Amino acid sequence: MDFVRIGFELFVGYIALFALTKILGKTQITQITAFDFISALVLGELVGNAVFDEKVGIPEILFAVVIWCILIYTTEITTQKFKRVRKFLEGEPTIVIHKGKILYDSLKKNHLDINQLQHLLRSKDVFSIRDCEYALLETDGSISVLKKTMSATPTRQDFNLVPEDVTLPVTLVIDGEVIYDNLASISKDIKWLTNEISSRGINEIQNVLYAEWEQNKALHIQTY
């Protein structure tokens, strides 16, 4: 009878967790942040302990999963609506290579050493730091790389072209909110941004889902 009970509780736990992932969306699977990692551990413990505890039955398993689902869902809604909370819970990308130079302080802050950095770069087909112009450590521990123009695929060197400066795109608006620090970093002000948005026929910044600036290129704007 114990085998039957364990098998049935595992089946119920499987269905409950499957439903939970459907409700919360794919980010719980693809973007493993620190918060998501804790969430996965807790869910595994809830179902695992319940299966091998004879005093815990199906109602207790479902109750625990539902309560945890509500907590996670509330947190996800909160991070969508409040940018400051989103930064605290999900973190933010960190530049670890800037203009071909390794930012040691950024590595130290994220508990990353040079060997680990090289491993991450190799996963992006960058086998020499000299070929990397920018590298960002993402919140899920992966790395995003912008190669130097001479090392891009296909390389400009293959066509005997003159090297060009590489610039990092700067996000100016997310979810209708202006990122003033980024705006100041490119020596622009809110008046300039408002004029740029108005010239595209958009009345208010709140109607902008995403806006990105890159040197010598038109401002990229996407509305809701």
Q: Map out the domains of the chain with their CATH numbers.
A: 2-89 (no CATH), 93-159 (3.30.240.20), 170-223 (3.30.240.20)
The confidence band for 207, taking pLDDT boundaries of 50, 70 and 90, is very high
| DSSP bridge partners of 212 | 171, 220
92, HSE (Cβ side, Cα atoms, 13 Å): 10
Percentage of residues in the chain with pLDDT exceeding 70?
80
3-state SS class at 206: helix
**What is the spatial distance between Cα 132 and Cα 11, in angstroms, rounded to a whole number?**
48
When mean pLDDT is compared across 129-138, 151-160, 180-189, the lowest value belongs to 151-160
In this structure, what token pair is assigned to residue 54? 């004879």
**The predicted structure's pLDDT at residue 6:** 67
CB 17 within 8 A of CB 65: yes
Rg of the Cα atoms in the chain: 23
CA distance readout (Å), 147 to 29, 76, 82, 118, 186:
28, 33, 33, 14, 21
- The pLDDT assigned to 34 comes to 59
pTM score:
0.62
Contact 181, 174 (CB under 8 A): no
Residues sharing a CB contact under 8 Å with residue 174, sequence separation 6 or more, in sequence order: 83, 209, 210
